[in-house]
Amino acid sequence: MSDKNQDLSPIEIIDAFKNQDWSILEQLIKQYTTFLLKSALGLGVRGNEADDLVQNVWSTFFEVIDRFEGNSQIRTFLYGILINKTRELRRENIKSNRHDPIDSVMEERFDSNGHWAKPPMNPEQFLEATQTLEIISDCIDKLPVTQRAAFTLWEIDESETSEICKILDVTVTNLGVILYRAKNRLRECIEIKTKANE
């Protein structure tokens, strides 16, 4: 995302929309569309579906702009809409995030004393298997939207924890759980695929 344009305030945007000040709205759209498209692709939405999703996000943005609070950034607000739309697209509801089968998979990896019962594969083999990115991208595609978004914001955008929590609408503790699940899902998935290719 480019930061060369100064951020418009919500009031400026609402006014521009009311007064049909297209140059301001064009500036806004130009400032955030690349970011939205990249985010959509990062969440696993591809091709025309990604373009439609971005259009959809903007259309919702202008519908709900009155509710936009000055204390949250436009970027955060837009990303929040994008995540909700992607969840809808994937027919994923927030409740499905409460229980994740990965938790019991991880439990089985340890004995009752908390020691490894099924230890992890050696990292050299693991690295070799992920070298082509094919395996990992297959595994990433299996992640729930929230986990994928959390991991992407955390690892790639290096966003502030508080901002990520706001976007995902979760507490800091929840965010830890989400990251834990995302990484362990990927780890298990990569191990299974690596062993299958042996």
Partner 1 sequence: MLKCNEIVELIASDKSLTFLGKMELKMHLLMCKHCNNYSKQIEIINNQYKKSIEKVTNTDEVHVQDLEDKVLESVKNKKEQKP
Q: Is 62 in the site for partner 1 (CB under 8 A)?
A: yes
In this structure, which amino acid lies at residue 197?
A: N
Of 72, 66, 73, 89, the C-alpha closest to 35 is 73
Q: Is 86 in the site for partner 1 (CB under 8 A)?
A: no
Q: Is 22 in the site for partner 1 (CB under 8 A)?
A: yes
Assign 87 to helix, strand or coil: helix
CB of 106 to partner 1, least distance (A): 8
Q: In this structure, what are the phi and psi dihedrals at residue 116, rounded to the nearest 5 degrees? A: -60, 125
Q: In this structure, what are the phi and psi dihedrals at residue 188, rounded to the nearest 5 degrees? A: -65, -45
Q: What angle do CA 1, 35, 93 make, to 5 degrees?
A: 140
CB of 93 to partner 1, least distance (A): 23
- Chosen residue from 154, 159, 163, 193 binding partner 1 by CB under 8 A: 154
Residues within window 125-144 making contact with partner 1, judged by CB under 8 A = 126-127, 130, 133, 136-137, 140
CB of 17 to partner 1, least distance (A): 7
Could you give the angle at which helices 22-42 and 47-64 cross, rounded to 10 degrees? 130
- Measure the CA–CA gap between 130 and 118, rounded to whole angstroms: 21
Query: For partner 1, how many residues bind (rule: CB under 8 A)?
Result: 55
Residue ranges that bind partner 1, judged by CB under 8 A: 17, 20, 22, 25-26, 29-30, 33-34, 37-39, 41-42, 44, 46, 51, 54-55, 58-59, 62, 106, 109-110, 113-116, 119-123, 126-127, 130, 133, 136-137, 140, 151-152, 154-156, 176-177, 179-180, 183-184, 186-187, 190
